[in-house]
Amino acid sequence: MKNGAFAHIFTVLFAVFMLAPIGVVVAVSFTAEGFLEFPPSTLSLRWYWAILDNPDFIDAFIVSLKLGFVSALLATVLTVPAGLAIGRGRFRGRDALQALFLSPLTVPTVVLGISFLRFLSLFGMNGTFIGLAVCHAVIIIPFVLRLVLASVTGMDPSIEKASVSLGASPWTVFRRVTLPAITPGVVGGFVLAFITSFDELTVSIFIVNPSTTTLPVRLFSHIAQTTDPLVASVSTVAILFTVVVMLIVDRLYGLDRLLIGEGKR
Amino acid sequence: MAYLELDHLSKAFGPFQAVADFSLDVARGEFVSLLGPSGCGKTTTLQMIAGFEEPTSGTIRLNGRDLSGVAARDRGLGIVFQTYALFPHMTVAENVGFGLDMRKVRGKERKRRIAAALELVHLSHLAGRHPRQLSGGQRQRVALARALVIEPELLLLDEPLSNLDAKLREEMQLELRRIQQEAGVTTLLVTHDQNEAMALSDRIAVMHAGTLVQEAAPFEAYERPTTAFASAFLGKSNAIHGRYEGPEFVTKDGVRLAAPAPAADGAGAAGDVMLALRPERILFVEEADAVVSGKVVERVFLGDQWLFKVATPVGELLVTRRNGGHAEPEPGATVHLAWAADHLRVLAPEAAA
Amino acid sequence: MNPFLLSAPALALFGVMLVVPLIMTFILSFHSFGFYTGIEFTFGLHNYIDVLTDDYFYEIFGRTFAIALAVTVICVIIGTPMAFFLQRMRAWTRSIMVLIVLGPLLVSVVVRTLGWMILLGNNGVINSALMDMGLLTSPFRMMYTSGGIVVALAHVMVPFMVLAVWAALQRQDPATIAAAESLGARRSTIFRRVVLPQAMPGILSGSLIVFSLSASSFATPSLIGGRRVKVVATTVYDEFLNTLNWPLGAAIAIILLVAVLVIMVTWNRVVERQFAGVFQ
Ligand SMILES: Nc1ncnc2c1ncn2[C@@H]1O[C@H](COP(=O)(O)OP(=O)(O)OP(=O)(O)O)[C@@H](O)[C@H]1O
Ligand SMILES: [Mg+2]
């Protein structure tokens, strides 16, 4: 079936709806004035230069980058073996294990946030980078698991047997056969985990301290006080960063596949 | 006048000619198979009849009615799709009832016809199940019942058995034939399985690269293939290339063979021709009676028969022999072969064969 | 290899960093809080009683779930058709539209909400445009209202709905549409009786995701609702980081958790019963 005129109009309106808030942020960031103005009467990069005078934002950006990388790495390293076990095996407790690893998706993030706060502060770990990274790993593991599971279940189980029959040791089987077969899922999972951590606000806001403040938290606190063109320019940089990551992902893996979490198309 | 007439049907996808000048007549109640290798345009032909593809040129007439411009949903044909295309959210009975709903058949009559259709395919006991709870063969029957319940003017089947395992496929072939005859519906089946086509149909239309190469009853098509392609595609066949010198046939390696006279229309009288010979028509004989002699190159045991590959002066020949329960020549042994000259079919050689 | 051995590292992390903290929060919710003494390690239901007997909290919970419901309804209404249209687009248009529809998911919620603040404010883009056109004489208030929260949250959530429905559509055999057509069904009938029912599991699971994420959302209600329009998540935040009454905040959070879980389980039950046998 083809799309009719209604479908075309609907699609255009939908696209406008999706892009409007993002476009407007980008647009106002180019104002030369000291307040938010749409459309900007004169264009300038004034507020981009202003970022350089606000090391808070730059520091927060760097924290977020590091945090995204460390927590995604941690989550991936822990999830790949678990995903192999769950995706492969039929053992008692398999469903329970999977439900546990996916549970951070169902628990409201505020609840996770206060629980981490309570837990970390008992050990004086609150506000530390390590504490933050470990908490992020917990909330992003479900995303990695879904993609790893999809590629494990999409893998032909007999290719491992085939390599064993050709004389490969268990380690060789894993390195030369299993891992390459699930690599797309693992890479996809890592990227999604990175982005999720990079954008995370609700948990982080409870467990950061001034030196480990992430970019979303910094932006949130700033916006809660005042909306000036500075947050718009910082946001635009963040958007640009996401767009680049997104285009790479879309090329490598397919954005829809990454987000639906399906192994094969 | 034929019941279904395909008249110079063509379909091009851009520059690619999927179906070319295809004409076929089907009589009422007849079971015709479209047989050909993958990609030869069988599905495309079926889709044009069903109304899902628009022919580039040519016409389709059913019962005297021109179908061009008639929407697929108004054609009233029963179609069984290769994937069955059962509605997963409906029960067996609801699937079968769908076409009746579209025809506003209601109440008792609807119930009666669903029951009768399920009876026909022997599935009455599974009426309440969903497709996912059925085996492949059962799904196939539901698809058949769903297509037949609307009492279609024509039943179209696109490789309906190709998703079934070998044993079930044989069972379903018999079933399909019984159901078709009980329902008395004119049927067009698409398949690339020659055995299926021969077992099921009154007539076979052999397709090759978008064109019709031969149409005949199964026995006729097997015994008297008119092209090298048809001869090789329907069963196994040996090809002996050569030319006529006067009344005598000389192979390209210079062996003289007794052969039927060249066709009256003169095809093959001059230039290269090809003789086709079925492996089961070649006999093992004493040296004195041999047409050719040769060495067994390979021997394969197939249960009910043996298959030999024999190197002879006229080329490598495939020979099959019924398994009579005694020892057969080993590879390397010299054997003497003979056949009756009238088992040779004279064909024009084809590049593709 | 033993599956539990393979899962051991992740299991350890979840034991220490998820199960224990959640249990501690649960316990925390039974403690009490003194303005001068801080957390007192008593054990009682007083926090729950406080919440459940106070109209103030009823209003907050009521507003939260009303907002979540409204967002879900909007997402169904606009997300489902979008998924259908996406399915039927030509490959090239579709890949662009996928980026437009799903891309925003990767942009921080804070940034997207900032965009809505700029759009919805009294001097915002929408009000200025409407007043310039003469359609409004004074600004229509959208910031600091539940309506504003609903609009911005719908933007945040609708990609999940599109994804869920689209995934369901992709699992359909396109031949079922041809089959229905060959049996005499017209377009509207095919949609109603063949396509929509097969998409239903996607719509239902998408609704559940959108509802539960909306009910526990924090950033958008906090920035658009401000101090005045509070929802559960922002109330918990205030109790923890402003009032410092952690036990009360924990009790509110636990109630939210239980409510969300109950809704999820009930919903799944109903859906499973509805579709028993159809989609296993
Ligand atoms: N929509 C299309 N656009 C372009 N080419 C097409 C299209 N549909 C079919 N073809 C081409 O037309 C040819 C015939 O296709 P068709 O599906 O009819 O083959 P078939 O005989 O049914 O093969 P199979 O046995 O594999 O099903 C193929 O080469 C195919 O690639
Ligand atoms: Mg086909």
Pairing mode, strands B256-257 and B272-277: unpaired
Let me know the angle formed at the C-alpha of C41 by C36 and C44, rounded to the nearest 5 degrees: 110
**pLDDT, chain A, mean:** 89
Q: Residues C232, C256: contact at Cβ < 8 Å?
A: yes
Q: How confident is the model at residue B235 (pLDDT cuts 50, 70, 90)?
A: confident
Rounded Cα distance, B328 and A54, in Å: 94
Yes or no, beta carbons of C173 and B146 under 8 Å apart: no
Ligand that comes closest to the CA of residue B207: 1
- Model pLDDT for residues A185-208, shown as the tens digit of each residue: 898 899 999 999 999 999 999 999
pLDDT higher than threshold 60 for residue B351: no
- DSSP string covering A228-263: -HHHHHHHHHHHHHHHHHHHHHHHHT-HHHHHHT-S
Does the pTM surpass 0.90? The reply is no
pLDDT band at B263 (very low <50, low <70, confident <90, very high): low
**pLDDT higher than threshold 50 for residue A2:** yes
Of the listed ligands, the closest to the CA of B45 is 1
Q: Is C144 helix (H, G, I), strand (E, B) or coil?
A: coil
* Mean pLDDT value across chain B: 89
Residue C38, strand partner residues:
C34
Cα Rg of chain C, angstroms: 23
Angle made by CA atoms C58, C64, C70, in degrees to the nearest 5: 130
Would you state the structure tokens that stand for residue C118, as one six-digit string? 């700029």
Tokens of B324: 């009579």
- Ordered domains of chain B (ranges, CATH): 4-223 (3.40.50.300), 236-352 (2.40.50.100)
Query: C157 near C214, Cβ under 8 Å?
Result: yes
B159 in helix, strand or coil? Answer: coil
Tens of pLDDT, residue by residue over C9-39, are: 999 999 999 999 999 999 999 998 887 777 8
CATH number of A54-260: 1.10.3720.10
Q: Does domain C14-273 have CATH number 1.10.3720.10?
A: yes
Report pLDDT for B93.
95
Helix (H, G, I), strand (E, B) or coil at B338: strand
Binary contact (A223, C155; C-beta < 8 A): no
Q: Mean of the per-residue pLDDT values for chain C?
A: 91
CB atoms within 10 A of CB A93: 12
Question: Subunits that touch chain B (at least 3 Cβ pairs < 8 angstroms)?
Answer: C
Cβ–Cβ gap A25/C118 under 8 Å: yes
Q: Kindly write down the DSSP assignment for every residue of B61-117, as one continuous string.
A: EETTEE-TT--GGGS--EEE-TT----TTS-HHHHHHHHHHHTT--HHHHHHHHHHH
Q: Given an 8 Å threshold on Cβ–Cβ distance, is C175 in contact with B82? A: yes
Could you tell me which of B166, B159, B211, B219 has the C-alpha nearest to residue B33?
B159
- pLDDT, one tens digit per residue, over B296-339 is 999 999 888 999 999 999 989 999 999 988 888 999 999 999 99
For chain C, what are the domain ranges? 14-273
Per-residue pLDDT band at B171 (split at 50, 70, 90): confident
Q: Which two tokens stand for residue A242?
A: 């996401």
How far is C131 from B305, CA to CA, in rounded Å?
Answer: 92
B266 pLDDT above the threshold of 60: no
User: Is A265 a residue whose pLDDT tops 60?
Assistant: no
Q: Which of B35, B42, B156 to mutate to test the pocket of ligand 1 (most atoms within 8 A of CB)?
A: B42
Query: Widest CA span of chain B, in angstroms?
Result: 78
Residue B253 clears pLDDT 90, i.e. is over it: no
pLDDT at B201 over 60: yes
CB of A131 closer than 8 Å to CB of A207? yes
Spatial separation of the C-alpha atoms in residues A11 and C85, rounded to whole Å: 8
Please, are residues C148 and C120 in contact by the beta-carbon 8 Å criterion? yes
* pLDDT score of A97: 93
Task: Give dist(CA C259, CA C70) in Å, integer.
Answer: 17
Q: Output the pLDDT for position A245.
A: 87
Q: How far apart are CA C25 and CA A118, in angstroms?
A: 7
The A residues from 172 to 231 touching C (CB cutoff 8 Å) are 195, 198-199, 201-202, 205-206, 215-216, 219-220, 223-224, 227, 231
- Closest to C84 measured CA to CA, from C203, C182, C207: C203
CA end-to-end span of chain C, whole Å?
A: 29
Reported ipTM: the value is 0.92
Please choose from B10, B13, B19, B53 the residue to mutate so as to test ligand 1's pocket, defined by most ligand atoms within 8 A of CB. Answer: B13
- Cβ proximity of C161 and C206 under 8 Å: yes
Mean pLDDT throughout B89-117?
A: 93
Tokens for B169, please give them. 């496929």
Ligand 1, atom 29: closest residue by C-alpha:
B39
Pairing of strands B256-257, B211-216: unpaired
What are the distances in angstroms from CA A189 to CA A195, A258, B69, B91, B106?
10, 8, 51, 38, 53
pLDDT in tens, B16-63: 999 999 999 999 999 999 999 999 999 999 999 999 899 999 999 999
Protein residue closest via CA to atom 18 of ligand 1: B41
Buried residues in A58-86 as b, exposed as e (16+ CB within 10 A): bbbbebbbebbbbbbebbbebbbbbbbbb
Please report, in tens digits, the pLDDT of each residue of chain C (280 residues total): 688 888 999 999 999 999 999 999 999 999 988 877 778 888 889 999 999 999 999 999 999 999 999 999 999 999 999 999 998 898 889 989 988 998 888 899 999 999 999 999 988 889 988 988 888 888 889 999 999 999 999 999 999 999 999 988 988 888 999 999 999 999 889 989 999 998 998 999 999 999 999 999 999 999 999 888 999 999 999 999 998 999 999 999 999 999 999 999 999 898 888 776 565 4
pLDDT in tens, A230-242: 999 999 999 999 8
Whether the CA torsion C173, C179, C185, C186 is positive or negative: it is: positive
